[in-house]
């Protein structure tokens, strides 16, 4: 596993290092977008407002782990994966901006700061989200073309096209946007509809689309651009499915137990809105056990694929987090 | 110019033929998107609501003209360009859905039918727009890979990546979304801002971003996927800049002269909102002359590049249209 930091250094420190690299890359992208000043300000507010940067860190960590197995050094894997890492965070950020709008979840607080529409108005918030979504694809399509990594029969352009298809499928009508539509419908917010409440299967389908799909895409893109074959891609996709579910359950649990200050967003809102959550359906104790089972499966999957180490550590960390 | 229909058949019939092919392709795409039913209905309303399909027709026509010069038959050029044609129309359609929202232009009528948010509510309309924008990139990235056309050193994947970069740049922060932000700001709709009214240069910059950029991308993508070299790409880009400006001027003139029934949207709205238009800045007569000059330049550009025929005919047609 040359190129991946020794397992002794803490996963938290590793994730902070990746987060700082992502923050620097995102900040570096904005001046080149050519946005008029009024839009630039809103894009900065939406994109640079802090946050864990979970998804892009997963892209980079996966690229480093897969790259190490294929003889790619860590710095090179990170360079190859950074456009995809930035893109997935831009798409996550746009989804928060649109989701917080009065026409959607109507949230005033995000990452400890006023939401984009509170600062700039709904119209510019919609446009800032549209801009981030569009630029996410430009970042991958227009990135300087590096020479192909070893161990891959696909050209760099073919790998980037595949990554973009993975990202668009996860973020689009079958994935994140579809999940948000189901969520909105279940909350009775679609004109002319009278949708029934979600049952357990419906809740799981909604979460798989709304948050799970993008986490899986983050991980799969990291593998694709590092030259993973189909078996490795399938393994990290399985890992990411379990990891994403664990994150969702822990989020729901923290929404019951946590504080506004630690989470940087309004707490208890889902429960107040009558939305079904894992704790409301299964209770806190069973929810916690379900999360542990997901993480155990995720760790076993990457170990079996020869990709343990950092990815396994990240799965374990996801259970212990408090925000 | 083998493969391009004889100049004798009318340009109107040619555009109708292309429009029908685009409509069929768009309709064929929707079932494969995997959208939940509530979102699928809104996507259909937003995408299949009629319209001239100007931008995708330009993509196909350019691909056929460029392809004919490079020895590519018409059917093959159309097949290569259809994913880009669908993508540009999906992006145009998403921009109309978001632009019509109460938080933006607040329009109730579009293409002769109630706008998406009037039928489904603001939240689902925002999501339908987000979905169309996302899926536009998926259509190009995930299209089946054909064998490379002759006369190009780029691989198919490289040409598709280039087309996606062109599309994202035109639709993003420097292009369409940037232009809409300037428009919104000039209308005093951005919280905490007191923007001055647009002067002529500001109006032209706004239009170049808001509508011109996507028309140029439509044309350039058609050339890129048919294997055009940089000189041909630059020529069709020049053609499209002049054509897009002519379209904008004619739109402004029709907004003064036309009827709601012919245009299928609310007429006189820009003037009523105090927005500057070509007729309000230059008067009707000078506006018409400016449009004629644009079209003359566009025709000369494609003739000099050996790409006259259909593209020149389309430029001439743009002056004569009544809707």
Chain A partners within 8 Å of B98 (Cβ): 126-127, 130
Return the CATH number at B308: 1.10.600.10
Q: What values do phi and psi take at A20, rounded to 5? A: -65, -40
CB contact under 8 A, B127 and A35: no
List the single range of A58-62, A71-75, A145-149 with lowest mean pLDDT: A145-149
In a domain, B6, yes or no: no
pLDDT tens track for B12-65:
999 999 999 999 999 999 999 999 999 999 999 999 978 889 999 999 999 999
B 272-311 near A (Cβ less than 8 A): none
Nearest CA in chain B to A36: B178
Inter-chain CB pairs, A–B, below 8 Å: 212
pLDDT tens track for B170-210:
999 999 999 999 999 998 999 988 877 888 899 889 999 99
Task: Check if A161 contacts B (Cβ < 8 Å).
Answer: yes
Number of H helices, E strands in chain A: 16, 2
CB A116 within 8 A of CB A42: yes
Share of chain A above pLDDT 70, in %: 88
CA distances, B180 to each of A106, B121, B125, B186 (Å): 23, 22, 17, 10
- Bridge-based pairing state of the strands A109-110 and A113-114: antiparallel
For B267, the domain range is 23-143+159-320
Q: Taking 80 as the threshold, does the pLDDT of residue B261 lie above it? A: no
Q: Taking 60 as the threshold, does the pLDDT of residue A256 lie above it? A: yes
In a domain, A220, yes or no: yes
- Note the pTM of the prediction, 2 decimals: 0.93
- As for how many domains chain B has, the answer is 1
Chain B partners within 8 Å of A162 (Cβ): 141
CB contact under 8 A, B181 and A124: yes
Task: Check if B130 contacts A (Cβ < 8 Å).
Answer: yes
DSSP state of A193: -
Chain B partners within 8 Å of A130 (Cβ): 94, 98, 129-130, 133, 177
In a domain, A42, yes or no: yes
In a domain, A3, yes or no: no
Residue in B120, B141, B171 nearest the CB of A168 = B141
Tally Cβ neighbours within 10 Å of residue A57: 24
Q: Could you tell me the pLDDT band of residue A194, with boundaries at 50, 70 and 90?
A: confident
In a domain, B236, yes or no: yes
State the complex-level ipTM.
0.92
- State how far residue A323 is from chain B, nearest Cα, in angstroms: 28
Q: Taking 90 as the threshold, does the pLDDT of residue A34 lie above it? A: yes
CB contact under 8 A, B127 and A171: no
Mean pLDDT of the region A253-264: 68
Looking up tokens 């998406």 gives: B116
In a domain, A1, yes or no: no
CB B139 within 8 A of CB B86: yes
Residue A78, Cα to own-chain centre: how many angstroms? 17
In a domain, B226, yes or no: yes
- The structure tokens listed for A170 are 């996860």
- Bridge-based pairing state of the strands B113-114 and A109-110: unpaired
- The structure tokens listed for B41 are 């209905």
Q: Taking 60 as the threshold, does the pLDDT of residue A149 lie above it? A: no
C-alpha closest to that of B213 among B193, B187, B241, B236: B241
In a domain, A26, yes or no: yes
Task: Check if A134 contacts B (Cβ < 8 Å).
Answer: yes
Report the C-alpha gap between B203 and B200 in whole angstroms: 5
DSSP state of A196: P
CA B247, B249, B252, B253 torsion-angle sign? negative
B 7-66 near A (Cβ less than 8 A): 33-36, 38-40, 42-43
- State how far residue A187 is from chain B, nearest Cα, in angstroms: 11
């Amino acid at each position: 596993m040359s190129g991946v930091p020794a397992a002794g250094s803490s996963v938290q420190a590793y994730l902070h290092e990746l987060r700082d690299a992502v923050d620097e890359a995102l900040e570096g992208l904005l001046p080149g977008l050519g946005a008029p000043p009024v839009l630039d300000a809103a894009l900065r507010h939406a994109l640079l407002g802090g946050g864990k940067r979970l998804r892009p860190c997963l892209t980079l960590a996966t690229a480093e782990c897969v790259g190490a197995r294929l003889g790619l050094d860590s710095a090179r894997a990170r360079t190859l994966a950074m456009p995809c890492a930035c893109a997935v965070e831009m798409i996550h950020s746009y989804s928060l901006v649109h989701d917080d709008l009065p026409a959607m979840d109507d949230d005033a607080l995000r990452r400890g700061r006023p939401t984009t529409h509170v600062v700039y108005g709904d119209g510019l918030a919609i446009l800032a989200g549209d801009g981030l979504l569009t630029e996410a694809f430009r970042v991958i399509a227009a990135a300087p073309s590096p020479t192909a990594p070893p161990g891959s029969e696909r050209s760099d352009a073919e790998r980037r096209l595949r990554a973009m298809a993975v990202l668009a499928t996860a973020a689009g009508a079958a994935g994140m946007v579809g999940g948000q539509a189901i969520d909105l419908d279940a909350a009775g917010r679609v004109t002319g509809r009278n949708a029934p409440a979600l049952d357990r299967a419906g809740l799981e389908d909604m979460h798989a689309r709304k948050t799970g799909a993008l986490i899986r895409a983050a991980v799969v893109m990291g593998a694709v651009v590092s030259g993973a074959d189909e078996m490795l891609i399938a393994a990290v996709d399985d890992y990411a499915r379990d990891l994403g579910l664990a994150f969702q359950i822990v989020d729901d649990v923290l929404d019951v137990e946590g504080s506004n200050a630690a989470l940087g967003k309004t707490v208890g809102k889902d429960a107040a809105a009558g939305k079904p959550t894992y704790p409301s359906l299964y209770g806190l104790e069973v929810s916690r056990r379900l999360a542990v089972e997901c993480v155990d499966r995720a760790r076993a999957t990457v170990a079996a694929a020869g990709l343990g180490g950092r990815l396994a550590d990240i799965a374990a960390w996801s259970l212990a987090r408090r925000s």
